[in-house]
Chains A and B, each alone.
Chain A
Amino acid sequence: KAGVTQTPRYLIKTRGQQVTLSCSPISGHRSVSWYQQTPGQGLQFLFEYFSETQRNKGNFPGRFSGRQFSNSRSEMNVSTLELGDSALYLCASSYPGQGGLETQYFGPGTRLLVL
């Protein structure tokens, strides 16, 4: 079974531009979560989608948005990029396991550099 895939793996943008990152979950997984990792702020939860609906959102400005498609693939978009948006963006998918315990799997991440 293929793991969580994220595209692109690396991206360079300039301030003011927008960017779209893609995440394909493991087949059958319906929940997709996004996280931002920076040296200064560490790991932070961005948002979580389940069956095309955003269920939870972290404390990020409205420039950060996302969506999930019917095949569970998810995209996140950052508009009007700022230097501080330079980060590793991680995507994870999960599926209920035995006893209701979910197992979560992460993709390798997309490293975004804003110049």
Chain B
Amino acid sequence: AQSVTQLGSHVSVSEGALVLLRCNYSSSVPPYLFWYVQYPNQGLQLLLKYTSAATLVKGINGFEAEFKKSETSFHLTKPSAHMSDAAEYFCAVSPSGGYQKVTFGTGTKLQVIP
């Protein structure tokens, strides 16, 4: 069985501040982990994907995430928040490495305060 837990359904940061969105996973097999973003009234967009090649994964729009096996975490960070980062972010896990049988977290809404 696999699951992800996103800590904090809503996160607010000031423009220019560090963005930290938390995700912890549970998986009986080595996991493949993803972060997605959903802008208001739009579909999802894949931000980044961890496939065990490197523990620090760089994604689009300046986001990155670090896989920490000892902490079973895959937190998403961005050094400096921009107004355009306001969206909902989903962490997800898959046992297979592909996008099949993906299990999503409940999402974290990021608010950026000017």
Contact = CB atoms under 8 A, between A and B. Distances in A.
Chain A bound to chain B:
yes
B45 A48 contact: no
Given A42-B104, A55-B100, 19 more contacts: A31-B98, A33-B100, A42-B105, A43-B44, A44-B104, A45-B101, A58-B101, A90-B43, A90-B44, A92-B99, A101-B49, A102-B99, A104-B99, A105-B46, A106-B43, A106-B44, A106-B45, A108-B43, A109-B43
B46 A45 contact: no
B102 interface: yes
Nearest to B100: A56
B104 A104 contact: no
Given A90-B43, A106-B44, A106-B45, A43 B101 contact: no
A42 to B, nearest CB: 5
B107 A42 contact: yes
20 contacts: A4-B43, A31-B99, A35-B44, A42-B104, A42-B105, A45-B100, A45-B102, A45-B103, A48-B99, A48-B100, A55-B100, A58-B101, A90-B43, A92-B43, A94-B98, A94-B99, A99-B53, A101-B49, A102-B99, A106-B43
Interface in A52-110: 55-56, 58, 90, 92, 94, 99, 101-109
Contacts, number: 52
Interface centre among A35, A99, A104, A108 (most CB of B within 10 A): A104
B106 interface: yes
Main secondary structure of the interface of A (DSSP, over half): strand
B42 interface: yes
Nearest to B41: A108
